[in-house]
Amino acid sequence: MADVNRGNRPLSPHITIYRPQLNSITSILTRITGNGLIVGGLLMTWWFVAAAMGPDAFATADAVLTSWFGDLVMFLSLWALWYHTLTGLRHLIWDTGRGLDLPTAEKLGWACVGGSVVLTILTALVI
């Protein structure tokens, strides 16, 4: 029988009362960046296919990819690529049984976030 004195409390931790942890945020962000990479890959594929289709098709695709919006999408795709790569390396470390304690896992999470930003900026400056 259900407790009638439980009040308006939720049955389990809910997003409105749960304090997100770095590991949960980086995990969600890894999934988001993976899907973002699909979008960037599709845009690049469109650009290559348009180049093979002729000058008119290429001019359209090139105009989109070299616009401010295309530059933004490509820059964010670059960041997503670095972030996704670094979190993949973090998972390889975890697969060896290392870095699973909370302090080390948090350091690895911050290393993925900070490292992806630094590597994105360095790559953008080199390109």
Walk along the chain (127 residues) and give the pLDDT tens digit of each residue. 555 566 676 666 666 777 788 999 999 999 999 999 999 999 999 999 999 999 999 999 999 999 999 999 999 999 999 999 999 999 999 999 999 999 999 999 999 999 999 999 999 999 8
- Rounded to an integer, what distance in angstroms lies between the CA atom of residue 27 and that of residue 63? 34
C-alpha dihedral sign at 91, 93, 98, 102: negative
CA distance 35 to 74: 14
Total domains present in the chain: 1
The answer to whether 84 is a known ligand-binding residue is yes
pTM for the predicted model, two decimal places: 0.81
Residue at 11 is within a domain? no
Range of the domain at 97: 34-126
**Predicted confidence (pLDDT) per residue in 13-36, tens digit:** 666 777 788 999 999 999 999 999
Q: Is residue 21 part of a domain?
A: no
Class of residue 5 by CB neighbours under 10 A (exposed 0-12, middle 13-18, buried 19+): exposed
Which amino acid does the sequence have at 102?
A: L
- 49: helix, coil or strand? helix
Question: Residue 80: which CATH number?
Answer: 1.20.1300.10
Is residue 61 in some structural domain? yes
